[in-house]
Amino acid sequence: MLYNKIIDLPMLYRLLISLCFFLFSSLATANNIVLPDIGDNAGNISPAEEYRTGEAVIRNIRRAGGVLDDPLIQGYLNELGYRLVAPSETQQVFHFFLIKDTSINAFALPGGFIGINAGLILATKSESELAGVMAHEIAHITQRHHARQYEQGENSVPILAALIAAMVLGSQDSDIGQAALATVAADSAQQQINFTRTNEKEADRIGIKLLINAEFNPHGMATFFDTMDKQSRFYGDSIPEFLRSHPVNPARIADARHRASQYPNVLTTSSITYHLLRTRLEVLASDDKTALLNRFASKLKEGNYQNKEATRYGYALALKANKKYEKALSQARILLKNNPEVIAYHILKAQIETSAKKYTAAIKTFKQILTLYPGNSTINLFYVETLLKANKIKLAHEIMQTQVTTSTKTPQLYRLLAETQAKLNKPANSHQSLAEYYYLLGQTHDAIKQLEIGLKIPKIDFYLTNRLEARLKEFKEELHQLRSN
């Protein structure tokens, strides 16, 4: 089953054991724990502290292997999210990320971070349904729900972030979640993350407006809630986390439908990108490459698909995974001929060429698509990987220097930058980038080691030394906060 084994259990146990020592608490039963949406409502919590908290949660989830950093999927989620946000007046910056888990869930975190499970995306039947869920989570953040409880909490940012991450990770294994949370969750911390019916109703109302303003079907939210409500009867005790943290009932579904009916009935079709995203998730989830290839071949032959292009895309990816590069290229060319403006098809073709060690052809493909979409961060990340394999180090480094100042910071970004710097004989810079890479993975001890190695390299300039020392101080202070709570 998709992503069932994503969690590094020993790592999770260490995280939770640490929490036992670090969290003050009277015990709360696991049955009262729900996945959080956290925000503030003016008060004393600064936007910078909110961001630090949300970012720290993501690092902790990454540490357990729970985040899927696929540039194409990440790019789509950001595009869809900002399409929803664009018509509003909010100044909040949002960060959307994918959780490698089959359970149906989505959640909002301080600082504008919104997590969406792979299982939820696969459970949706249309782009408007996915947009409805995202709009709901966006509304939780823009309305800054649960602020007072969060503001009154006594936990430091690293402690609160570790607690939230433990809840997110624990929700993916009921035994771990119940045992761990019953041990570490404090009543005071619980007060910071509880939902209210008023919050949910307000998020529904504003979310539907976001759907309308972004020209999605306003019934998408109610349709998804209805599907979840009907499916919940088959889950028994294993009810999806989304329904625990966002409880739905016939009255709430009826209310969402009523609100949606007040707007013109927008008949929208799901974008090709939405269908490609779901197909890509299916491919990334498969451990059996042969079965994957047979499944997509059968779908194409029998016409058993929701979208033919997306099925052909999956077939090409499966051919590539099975090293049938010429057949894969043939499918990629068909896709490009039918729809040459889809970025994913150009990247597919270039990646197949790269895997077949046809580096000149792959570079040509990337250059062609970059003339249409100059500076596109998703394209550039794949392009740099090809350039490194083709030993085009200087060009790869030039691109990465631009990317690191303009793109969302991800572990992959810093890993590629570190590789280009190392090959250009810039060891101190490379260790600095590796420190950021490990830090984003939640491995702060390893990040500190990289900075210490970088500072021992002779003849590094004054400004770089200052940057390394400043970052080292920040990382050590964060560890100190964890140890002293």
- Residue pLDDT, tens place only, 311-355: 999 999 999 999 999 999 999 999 999 999 999 999 999 999 999
Q: What's the pLDDT band for 55 if we cut at 50, 70, 90?
A: confident
Dist CA 424 CA 420 (whole Å) = 6
Q: What's the pLDDT band for 161 if we cut at 50, 70, 90?
A: low
* Whether residue 215 sits in one domain with residue 95: yes
Indicate the range of 201-205, 324-328, 470-474 predicted with least confidence: 201-205
* Residue 168 or residue 59, greater confidence: 59
User: What pLDDT was estimated at residue 344?
Assistant: 97
Q: Per-residue pLDDT for 41 more than 90?
A: no
* Whether residue 128 sits in one domain with residue 162: yes
Dist CA 188 CA 166 (whole Å) = 16
Pick from 42-46, 96-100, 151-155, 420-424 the range whose average pLDDT is largest. Answer: 420-424
* Whether residue 77 sits in one domain with residue 205: yes
Contact 200, 241 (CB under 8 A): no
Of 261, 283, 310, the domain-final residue: 261
* Residue 51 or residue 148, greater confidence: 51
* Residue 244 or residue 16, greater confidence: 244
* Whether residue 438 sits in one domain with residue 368: yes
Longest dimension (CA), the chain: 69
Q: What is the distance of C-alpha 187 from the center of its chain? A: 29
Of 261, 294, 328, the domain-final residue: 261
Q: Per-residue pLDDT for 165 more than 80?
A: no
Burial group, residue 397, by CB count within 10 angstroms (0-12, 13-18, 19+): buried
Of 207, 237, 261, the domain-final residue: 261
- Residue pLDDT, tens place only, 398-441: 999 999 988 888 999 999 999 999 999 999 999 999 999 999 99
Is position 3 within any domain? no
Domain with residue 285: its CATH number is 1.25.40.10
User: What pLDDT was estimated at residue 278?
Assistant: 94
| Mean local confidence (pLDDT), 156-170 | 62
| Mean local confidence (pLDDT), 437-459 | 95
* Whether residue 293 sits in one domain with residue 223: no
Q: What's the pLDDT band for 267 if we cut at 50, 70, 90?
A: low
* Whether residue 211 sits in one domain with residue 111: yes
* Whether residue 304 sits in one domain with residue 194: no
- Average model confidence (pLDDT) across the chain: 80
Predicted TM-score (pTM) of the model is 0.81
* Residue 332 or residue 197, greater confidence: 332
* Whether residue 315 sits in one domain with residue 196: no
Is position 453 within any domain? yes
Q: Per-residue pLDDT for 157 more than 70?
A: no
Percent of the chain with pLDDT over 70: 74
Q: Per-residue pLDDT for 149 more than 80?
A: no
Is position 2 within any domain? no
Indicate the range of 47-56, 369-378, 450-459 predicted with least confidence: 47-56
Q: From the CB of residue 82, how many other CB atoms can be counted at a distance below 10 Å? A: 14
* Whether residue 278 sits in one domain with residue 160: no
Q: Per-residue pLDDT for 46 more than 80?
A: no
- Residue pLDDT, tens place only, 353-412: 999 999 999 999 999 999 999 999 999 999 999 999 999 999 999 999 999 988 888 999
How many domains, in total, are found in the chain? 2
User: What pLDDT was estimated at residue 65?
Assistant: 86
User: What pLDDT was estimated at residue 87?
Assistant: 85
* Whether residue 432 sits in one domain with residue 324: yes
User: What pLDDT was estimated at residue 13?
Assistant: 37
| Mean local confidence (pLDDT), 74-101 | 90
* Whether residue 210 sits in one domain with residue 301: no
Dist CA 356 CA 437 (whole Å) = 29
User: What pLDDT was estimated at residue 3?
Assistant: 47
| Mean local confidence (pLDDT), 63-74 | 90
Amino acid 157 reads: V
User: What pLDDT was estimated at residue 242?
Assistant: 53
* Residue 359 or residue 36, greater confidence: 359
Pick from 212-221, 281-290, 449-458 the range whose average pLDDT is largest. Answer: 449-458
* Whether residue 357 sits in one domain with residue 439: yes
Across the beta sheet with 67-68, the strand order is 67-68, 95-99, 113-117, 106-109
Percent of the chain with pLDDT over 90: 51
Q: Per-residue pLDDT for 18 more than 60?
A: no
Is position 357 within any domain? yes
Q: Per-residue pLDDT for 160 more than 90?
A: no
* Residue 58 or residue 451, greater confidence: 451
Instruction: List the domain range (segments joined by +) for residue 408.
Output: 272-484
Q: What is the distance of C-alpha 196 from the center of its chain? A: 26
